[in-house]
Amino acid sequence: MICYACQGTVFRRDAIELELRVGEHLVVDRSLTLPICQKCGEYVIPSLVYEKVELRAALLAFAQAPAISGAVLCFGRKALGLTQVALAERIGTTAESISRWEREERPMEPWVPLTMLALLRERLMPPPKDIEFKRAG
């Protein structure tokens, strides 16, 4: 492994603190442990790891923010990798509504944050595939 910044070759695994702005909220993720260059202190976050960080940040914002703004909705949608059209199809509304909510041109329906929270949880914690649900009795 070679450091892209200084061409160093000695690394140590260490925890990093990553700050993400989710709308008007700041989410701090301390769950990452990455190889850090001992010479210059640089590190690289692989894209698949960063996608998970964004999903966790969006999940936290939707679960704990006192109010969900259009910017938070937009961040959550992008963290899920969805366009406005795709999100609208997924949650049973129109792309125009998604656009207006994100621009805060009209109040968001109360069920939207709960639906986004469910979509984010499903992406991060998909249901098990090898378990069958049956009625007892």
Residue 66 contacts residue 83 (beta carbons within 8 Å) = no
Identify which of 30, 60, 26, 32 has the alpha carbon closest to the alpha carbon of residue 48. 32
Provide the CATH topology of domain 11-124. 434 Repressor (Amino-terminal Domain) (1.10.260)
Model pLDDT for residues 101-134, shown as the tens digit of each residue: 999 999 999 999 999 999 999 999 887 778 777 7
pLDDT value at residue 128: 79
pLDDT value at residue 86: 98
pLDDT interval class at 136 (50, 70, 90) = confident
Identify which of 33, 41, 35, 42 has the alpha carbon closest to the alpha carbon of residue 15. 33
Model pLDDT for residues 50-96, shown as the tens digit of each residue: 999 999 999 999 999 999 999 999 999 999 999 999 999 999 999 99
pLDDT value at residue 1: 87
How many Cβ atoms sit within 10 Å of the Cβ of residue 40?
13
pTM, full prediction: 0.85
Model pLDDT for residues 5-52, shown as the tens digit of each residue: 999 999 999 999 999 999 999 999 999 999 999 999 999 999 999 999
Hey, what long-range contacts does 39-46 have (CB within 8 A, 24 or more apart)? 39/3, 39/6, 39/8, 39/10, 40/3, 40/5, 40/6, 40/8, 42/3, 42/4, 42/5, 42/6, 43/16, 44/4, 45/18
pLDDT value at residue 130: 80
